[in-house]
Amino acid sequence: MTVTSSLRLADREQVLAHAAELVLDSWRAFDRARPGQPEPTARHRTLLDEPLPESGEDPRAALDLAAELLDASFSPARPRWFAYVGSSGLEIGVLADALAATHDVNVAIESGGGDLVERQAIDWLADFTGFGPADGLLSPGGTISNLTALTAARERALPGVRHDGCGGHRMALYCSAEAHYSVVRAAEVLGIGSRNVRALPLDGERRADPRACAKAIAADRRAGIVPVAVVATAGSTLTGAVDDLDALADVCAEHDVWLHVDGAYGLPAAATALAGARFAGLARADSATVDAHKWLYVPKACSVLLVRDAEALERTFAHREAYIPHSAVEHLHPVDRTLEYSRPLRALKLWLAFRVHGAAAIREAIERNLRQAQLLAELVERDPALEALHEPQLSALCFRHRACADGGDPRSERAAARTLALADAIRRDGRILLAAAEVDGVPCLRACVVNHRTTDEDVHALVDVVDELAEQLG
Q: What are the chain's domains?
A: 102-354 (3.40.640.10)
Residue 114: pLDDT over 70: yes
Residue 5: pLDDT over 80: no
Q: Mean pLDDT throughout 415-441?
A: 95
pLDDT band (50, 70, 90) for residue 333: confident
Q: Mean pLDDT throughout 49-53?
A: 95
Separation of alpha carbons 241 and 205, rounded Å: 7
Q: Mean pLDDT throughout 307-330?
A: 81
Per-residue confidence (pLDDT) for residue 108, from 0 to 100: 87
Per-residue confidence (pLDDT) for residue 423, from 0 to 100: 96
Per-residue confidence (pLDDT) for residue 1, from 0 to 100: 55
Per-residue confidence (pLDDT) for residue 33, from 0 to 100: 94
Q: Considering only 60-74, 212-226, 271-285, 323-337, which range has the smallest mean pLDDT? A: 323-337
Per-residue confidence (pLDDT) for residue 405, from 0 to 100: 86
Q: Mean pLDDT throughout 249-274?
A: 98
Q: Could you report the per-residue pLDDT of 65-79, keeping only the tens digit for each?
A: 999 999 999 999 999
CB 301 within 8 A of CB 294: no
Bigger pLDDT: 331 or 451?
A: 451
Residue 110: pLDDT over 90: no
* Average model confidence (pLDDT) across the chain: 95
Q: Could you report the per-residue pLDDT of 217-239, keeping only the tens digit for each?
A: 999 999 999 999 999 999 999 99
Separation of alpha carbons 451 and 296, rounded Å: 9
Residue 440: pLDDT over 70: yes
Provide the H-helix boundaries in 235-326: 245-255, 292-295, 310-317
Burial of 218 from C-beta contacts in 10 A (0-12 / 13-18 / 19+): middle
pLDDT band (50, 70, 90) for residue 327: low
Separation of alpha carbons 178 and 191, rounded Å: 22
Name every residue whose Cβ is closer than 8 Å to that of residue 52 and which is 6 or more positions away in sequence.
none
CA 262 from centre of chain: 10
Per-residue confidence (pLDDT) for residue 320, from 0 to 100: 80
State the CB neighbour count (10 A cutoff) for residue 406: 12
pLDDT band (50, 70, 90) for residue 354: very high
CB 173 within 8 A of CB 137: no
pLDDT band (50, 70, 90) for residue 329: very low
| Strand 386-388 versus strand 170-176 pairing type | unpaired
Q: What is the DSSP string of 109-150?
A: S--THHHHHHHHHHHHHHHHHT--S-EEEEESSHHHHHHHHH
Q: Mean pLDDT throughout 242-255?
A: 98
Residue 455: pLDDT over 90: yes
Q: Mean pLDDT throughout 248-276?
A: 98
φ and ψ of 327, to 5 deg: -75, 170
pLDDT band (50, 70, 90) for residue 330: low
Beginning with the edge strand found earlier in the chain, give each strand of the sheet holding 435-439 in spatial order: 386-388, 396-401, 442-448, 435-439
Query: Of all residues in the chain, what percent carry a pLDDT higher than 70?
Result: 98
- Angle between helix axes 113-129 and 347-382 (nearest 10 degrees) is 30
Query: Of all residues in the chain, what percent carry a pLDDT higher than 90?
Result: 89
The residues pairing with 197 across neighbouring beta strands, listed in sequence order, are 173
